[in-house]
Every structure is written in C-alpha cells, then in structure tokens.
Amino acid sequence: MEGCYFDGIDGNTLRFNEIKKRLPRINHQTLIKQLKELERDELVNRTSYPVVPPRVEYTLTEYGESIKDLLHHMEDWGRKHRQRKQEEVK
C-alpha cells in the first residue's frame, strides 16, 4: 500500500475515474488491485450503485483516515531520501 492511493481519495468521495485522474502515472489494473486491497483492509469503503453505466464510489473509512498523517510523513521522507540519493550521484 502506498500513500499516493490515499491522496487520490483523501477526504473525498470519488469515482474510479476521478481517482485515476488524480494518479495519472498508475496503471489501470494496478489501481483496481490496490483499491480492492484497501477495501479488504477496511481502509476504504466501496459503494456500488445498481445503475447503467455502473457507478462505484470510494471513500476513506475512519480507520483509513487514522493512518493518513503517517503516510504523509512517509511520503515526505521518501521525497527527501530520493533527493538525497540524486545529489549523491551528481
């Protein structure tokens, strides 16, 4: 699981395509897989509506909200680490 998937949802109720637009570098199938894992781990709620075309919405659960700060700190550390490694190469 990566913080970026949370950023796609972060405090909003979003449809799959809206999340995909927020995470343009992620592969379609990878996003599907990750959202299923987040749902299985009870970090996101998936709501499916019986309409045509299909409509599915995702929101963070209370449990998912509780881990956001930690993931943002990890993401910040990752950026700093990447930058440090790139500077070492120069």
Angle at 6 between CA 50 and CA 8, to 5 degrees: 65
How high is the pLDDT of residue 9?
66
Q: Residue 23: how many CA atoms within 13 Å on its side-chain side?
A: 24
Cα gap 17→83, rounded to integer Å: 31
**pTM passes above 0.75:** no
Q: Please identify which residue in the block is written with the tokens 């881990």.
A: 67
Beta bridge partners of 44: 60
How high is the pLDDT of residue 72?
84
pLDDT digits (tens, 9 = 90+) for 15-56: 999 988 888 888 999 999 999 999 999 999 999 999 999 899
Contacts of 74 (CB under 8 A, 6+ apart): 3
